[in-house]
Amino acid sequence: MDQFGRLFVEFKKSATRIETLPAYSVEEERAQFEHYLSGKPLPENRNEEWANNIRACVADGRYMGRVHIIDHVLTPYLQFEIDWYYAINGAAGEDIRFIYRDDVPDITHTDTWLFDDTVVVDLSYNEEGELLYINQNDAPERLEQARTAWREFHARSFPLSALLAEIRSSKLVIPRATGRARTVARRKRVQPWTRHRFAPNS
């Protein structure tokens, strides 16, 4: 396990994530994404390993949470992410929240993991959502930016249950699934704990 992966095992109090993109391109998710787009029933044991990790962390008194920036039209990837991962992880105890892009505060932010409110790990992606690099940023000013971003994003966000209620009430635009499987892009391989909801397997 590399240094980044160990953070998901060794954190003492909290592991929090800000996600900024409408879609991420992860090779390890390709088969699951294609399965989802096909309309087949979802496996009941999907993401079970990471969900068990969340349960263990929560039982130990540790907090895991994320805020994902979304648009009022959900991408196919976000639909997949909600149904395949978030529904399972939320039930396991992760605090999964969302903020609409037009409600994002005007502060410095990026895709980030923040561990114990003391360790900042920034993740950089290209326009296709492929991971370019991971950087543990030890600069004091970056730590303060990350703390402020998490605090402000969390305060303005709403929980997964509210998003699911909006979807059920048709307040969000959900593109039809037909034909989407034909456009699944070839994805770059990255380590499975690099973006993530299921670390190391994160």
The predicted-structure confidence for 15-64, as pLDDT tens digits, reads as follows 999 999 999 999 999 999 999 999 999 999 999 999 999 999 999 999 99
Residue 44 CB-half CA count within 13 A: 0
In 20-128, where do the E strands start and end? 63-70, 95-100, 112-115, 119-125
pLDDT of residue 116: 98
Percent of the chain with pLDDT over 70: 83
Compute how many other C-beta atoms are within 10 angstroms of the C-beta atom of residue 124.
11
Structure pTM? 0.84
Q: Where are the domains of the chain?
A: 17-201
pLDDT of residue 169: 83
pLDDT of residue 174: 62
**Percent helix / strand / coil, the chain, rounded to 5:** 40, 20, 35
d(CA 90, CA 160): 8
Please determine, for residue 70, whether its predicted confidence score (pLDDT) is greater than 80. yes
Q: Given strand 131-137, what is the order of strands in its sheet?
A: 131-137, 119-125, 112-115, 14-19, 63-70, 95-100, 158-159
pLDDT of residue 57: 95
Please determine, for residue 179, whether its predicted confidence score (pLDDT) is greater than 60. no
